[in-house]
Chain A
Amino acid sequence: MTSAGLKVLIVDDEPNIVIALEFLLEREGFAVHKAYNGQQAIAQAQQLVPDIIVLDVMMPGMDGFEVARQIRNNPALEYTKIVFLTAKGTQRDKETGYAHGAEYYLIKPFDNEVFVATILEIMEYG
């Protein structure tokens, strides 16, 4: 796999979901970093410059769309990919997600295989 050493930032206010995602991505060789709200996410992203961010939408304070917007406006994070992973599953939500510069928009509850395959796919085609 090509994912060894790539940096991923997981952003979700649900610690248990973060635990699952962390396991799945570490298994693929990613260096996993975690943030539990929007502010943390922005701060960590600027510091780490991750290759990919897995981003929840509904979070207290700053929501995921806002996080994505700020990241896309930061030229230093130009090559950071964004994947939304959220329970907000309507077509309009998806469109909003893509409009905020996401590569993918995955719906919770997600399928482990599909999730991992999607991330790997993005890292490869991107």
Chain B
Amino acid sequence: MGLSLVVGCSLLYITLLFLIAWRVDRRADRGASVVNNPYVYALSLAVYCTAWTFFGSVGRAATGGLIFLGVYLGPTLLAPLWYMVLRKMIVISKNLRITSIADFISSRYGKSSTLAVLVTIIAVLGIVPYISIQLRAVIFGINTLTGYSMAGAGAGHTPLWLDAGFYVTVAMALFTVLFATRKLDPNERHEGLVAAIAFESLIKLIAFFAVGIFVTFFLYDGFGDLFQQALQRPDTAVLFSFKSVGVSPLAWNMLMMLSLFAIVLLPRQFHISVVENSTPRHIPTAMWVFPLYLLLINIFVFPVALAGKMLFDASVLPDTYVLNLPLKYGAPWLALVAFIGGFSAATSMIVVETTALSIMFSNHIIVPLLIRANRLEYNKDLVSGISRLLDIRRLSIILMLILAYWYQKIVGSTYDLVSVGLISFTAVAQLAPAVIGGLYWKRATEQGAIAGMFLGFLIWAYCLPLPSIALAGYLPTHFLENGLFGLQFLKPSALFGLTGLDPITHAAFWSLLFNTWVYAIVSVNTRPTTLNLTQADLFVNIHKYNSGQEWDILKREAKIADLRQVLTRFLSESRSAAIFNEFEKANQVSLVNEKTAHADLISFAETNLAGAVGAATARIIIESITKEEPISIDEVMRILEQTKEAVAYSREMEAKNKQLEALTDQLTLANDQLKTLDRMKADFITTVTHELRTPVTSIKALSKIMLDYRSELPPEKADAYLHILVTESERISRLINQVLDLEKLQNAGAEMPKEPLDLRTVLQQAVESMAHLFTAQHVSIKVDLPDEAVLVQGNNDQLVQVAVNLLSNALKFCDPEKGAVEIGLLSASPSAVWWVSDNGPGIAPGARAIIFDKFTQLHSAELGKPKGTGLGLFISKTILNQHGGFIQVDNVKLGHGARFEIRLPLLDTASKPPKREDFY
């Protein structure tokens, strides 16, 4: 098969992935999420199955029999536990905007930056071998298909430009950078990426299935035939049982335990299952779909391995059976499909893994370093915002891949695919005690986590990668045989004299044993800091908390301007403004005139910042602006000087004390009045926002229901909901208009132009503008106007508004069956008297005193509030007061309708206010 065909198909496939990601991202921008689907979520979890699964499982099965299954049984066994563990992790992460496993662990232990760095280092060093085998799988895939022996894995001395591995690495780096760092999402969600990964999971399953069916049903006559033949040959029959291939129960259990940890702790698994998760509700589906996927992709592993072993001699590597069986037995196109499947497995792993690692690497190592180096001048251009952050991500991705390339070049050939993967599993398992303990054991401390993890990691490094690096000739090999410093019990393959285990089981056993014990013992013997305690409570008892704002009990202060600047720098101008708005709304405060930010605002900003750069880094950034400046001597002198002046001044004041006393009293009085006014204004704003929130709540909830559950809604329900959306929107606009009216009235009311008006025209205008509403609701209206003009001094628009308000109230409260409303006017010198009455239930005597107050609404017991804003009568009363008149509600017996009466001074007697009659 030609090289150009293979490379061409691969490029075509990558283009297809791009298209998928691009379309999904576009739809996500429009608000229609494709990824918010439990099956896509479950499929994306199958990023767990890498090229190692695809090629390596067969290789492993061909030498170790059923042992290959351990890696998949672990996660399958754990799946039922997801409902507790994974869900808790997701809820915590969504609340705290956790961006990676390092962020998660560091957050739990008091936002410890040391831990964040340690986890990042463990993850990067632990995962690099794993990435390297993906590169290797792609390289030998190409080699096998094309038959060329392109210099690749293990060929240590080829020049760079002739090395296929180099080009594969560069292509992968380019692909990942383009794929994962197009934009900076504050919550690290990449919908396009997830969709592409889910698609790749399908492709690799289909490809492997195709090869399996070909081998089982075309090369043999089904499973029965294949197994029968295999049982008759000693070299394949031995694979059918554990005992005969020498798998110890400890090794088997250890393998399951490692994979059980890996399924949540591998950076790519954490990224897909927690960070990219759209809702915890997807978990129940994933709990059965994902194990089913594992079952399907493993069904043909054993048959293919047996067939390969029977049909090929030892010169064909078992890791290449998946490609070589179709290639050598007449189905080269199937071999190409298989290659694309394996390629798919490798690319998805590399993309997600390096993305997750780069988030950790840039958030926890690079950005903190830049900030530390530039602590005092954080506003200079060193870490300037989003594009800079993305550049750092890109560089991190490239760095990961260079490391992986280097690793596969120097030690790549020492182990087979599966063993290298397990080295990474063992490294990542070192995070397990700190994560699991952190979720359920409040007493665990930062020191415990650091000590345990560090020791476990050291043992891992000493037992697994170091020997292979030494064997590859980069280190003296002396310690392999005789132990470190010649101490026999430190032999990396037999620590403390424990022999008889394979290297992985041996290293996993000792590292996890020490890790867990040291973690527990150090935790019990150290005192957690306050922050560590609050975070611990938050993680262990997450169900007590529901939003990420209130748990910080630390007392901190910072300038709001600084805070704003930092947020703008790391997020964006609009995002930072949105954060401040959100805070103002949630706490019903205004920050406009505030200079100092208190603990709650700082914590809120920090949580949001953490979404972009991780908790530990966010804390460092925030700390850099919350530090207090020491007071200089100059400043102290200046304060003293001012005090001295103040003392002198107050003596002078004392001399004039008597004269001033009276004035002071007046001022106090005025001040009190101002304070009262201020308080009233604040109350008013609180009430308005509350009144706005109510319709917004129904609109938000119902429109989201219509968006999410469109398909399950019966049409009449959908119509009813749409109708509610319209009326609630009208309610909002009505409220806004009336609030604006009120504002206008209170600011400029007294200066509104007034002219001589005939009240008959005013009332007629009002009646005409309302006429269609009356007709529509079948309410009769009787207009009773005198023959002569009733002249008053007033503002036409405002008085019409009063009449309209009264009429619409009457319309609203009149008898629902046979509604009747009356409006009338008469001249009773010195006042013009005008009334509006209806035949509704009337107003209870107790309510009559309060209906003219702001936001008073009368309720019916059955259906809650009527539609209205509660401002109409207050506005009317204000307008009339500014016209020298007043409004009152008449003393009609309850049940006989309501009657409102207005008195305004007639024009010729405008200087004398009308006498108020007492109706109560």
Contact = CB atoms under 8 A, between A and B. Distances in A.
Contacts of B380: none
A36 B862 contact: yes
Contacts of B702: 16, 19-20
Contacts of B717: 23
B32 interface: no
A122 B281 CA distance: 15
Interface string B695-726: 11110111011001100100001001100100
Contacts of B600: 91
Given A19-B702, A112-B704, A114-B546, A107 B861 contact: no
B546 A118 contact: yes
A20 B698 contact: yes
B587 A91 contact: yes
Q: Which size class do A's interface residues fall under?
A: 35 or more
A104 B279 contact: no
Contacts of B865: 13-14, 60
Contacts of A106: 546
Contacts of B727: 16
Contact of B694 (A14, A21, A24, A117): A14
A36 B863 contact: yes
B586 interface: yes
Nearest to B542: A121
Contacts of B698: 14, 16-17, 19-20
Interface in B530-555: 543, 546-547, 550
Contact of B693 (A16, A24, A108, A117): A108
Contacts of B546: 104-106, 114, 118
Given A15-B863, A91-B600, A106-B546, A23 B690 contact: no
Interface string A77-101: 0000000000111110010000000
A87 B705 contact: no
Interface in B845-863: 859, 861-863
B292 to A, nearest CB: 21
Contacts of B690: 58, 87-88
A34 to B, nearest CB: 11
B588 interface: yes
Contacts of B103: none
B279 A109 contact: no
Interface in B717-762: 717, 720-721, 724, 727-728
Nearest to B717: A23
Contacts of A110: 697, 700-701
A108 B700 CA distance: 10
B705 A17 contact: no
Interface in B822-881: 859, 861-865
Given A27-B709, A108-B693, A117-B281, A17 B587 contact: no
Task: Describe B's contact surface by its main secondary structure.
Answer: helix
A19 B693 contact: no
Contacts of B91: 117, 121
B697 A87 contact: yes
A12 B546 CA distance: 21
Given A15-B864, A117-B279, A109 B543 contact: no
Contacts, number: 97
A103 B418 CA distance: 49
Interface string B159-180: 0000000000000000000000
Contacts of B859: 13, 37, 60
B280 A112 contact: no
Nearest to B860: A36
Given A36-B862, A94-B550, A17 B588 contact: no
B701 A89 contact: no
Contacts of B693: 87, 108-109
A64 to B, nearest CB: 14
B724 A19 contact: yes
A20 B587 CA distance: 25
A107 B587 CA distance: 11
Interface string B428-460: 000000000000000000000000000000000
Contacts of A27: 709, 712
B705 A24 contact: yes
Contacts of A36: 861-864
A75 B744 CA distance: 54
Contacts of B700: 109-110
Contacts of B721: 19
Q: Which among A15, A105, A109 has the greatest number of chain B C-beta atoms within 10 A? A: A109
A44 to B, nearest CB: 14
A89 to B, nearest CB: 6
Given A89-B587, A117-B281, A109 B696 contact: yes
Given A15-B864, A58-B690, A89-B588, A125 B701 contact: no
B863 A17 contact: no
Given A91-B587, A118-B546, A121-B543, A108 B694 contact: yes
B628 to A, nearest CB: 25
A24 B280 CA distance: 16
A23 B705 contact: yes
A91 B551 CA distance: 11
A87 B690 CA distance: 6
Given A91-B550, A125-B543, A107 B586 contact: yes
Contact of A89 (B586, B720, B724): B586
Interface in B255-285: 279-281
Contacts of B695: 16
A16 B724 contact: yes
Interface string A1-33: 000000000001111110111011001000000
A112 B705 contact: yes
Interface in A45-82: 58, 60
A85 B861 CA distance: 20
B588 A90 contact: yes
B867 to A, nearest CB: 10
Nearest to A98: B544
Interface of B: 91, 279-281, 543, 546-547, 550, 586-588, 600, 690, 693-698, 700-702, 704-705, 708-709, 712, 717, 720-721, 724, 727-728, 859, 861-865
19 contacts: A13-B865, A14-B697, A17-B697, A19-B721, A21-B701, A27-B709, A58-B690, A60-B864, A87-B690, A87-B693, A89-B586, A89-B587, A90-B587, A105-B546, A108-B693, A111-B704, A113-B281, A115-B701, A121-B543
10 nearest interchain CB pairs?
A20-B701, A16-B698, A13-B864, A109-B697, A87-B693, A108-B697, A109-B700, A60-B859, A36-B864, A112-B704
Given A13-B864, A87-B690, 9 more contacts: A13-B865, A14-B697, A17-B697, A20-B701, A60-B865, A109-B693, A110-B701, A117-B279, A118-B546
Interface of A: 12-17, 19-21, 23-24, 27, 36-37, 40, 58, 60, 87-91, 94, 104-115, 117-118, 121-122, 125
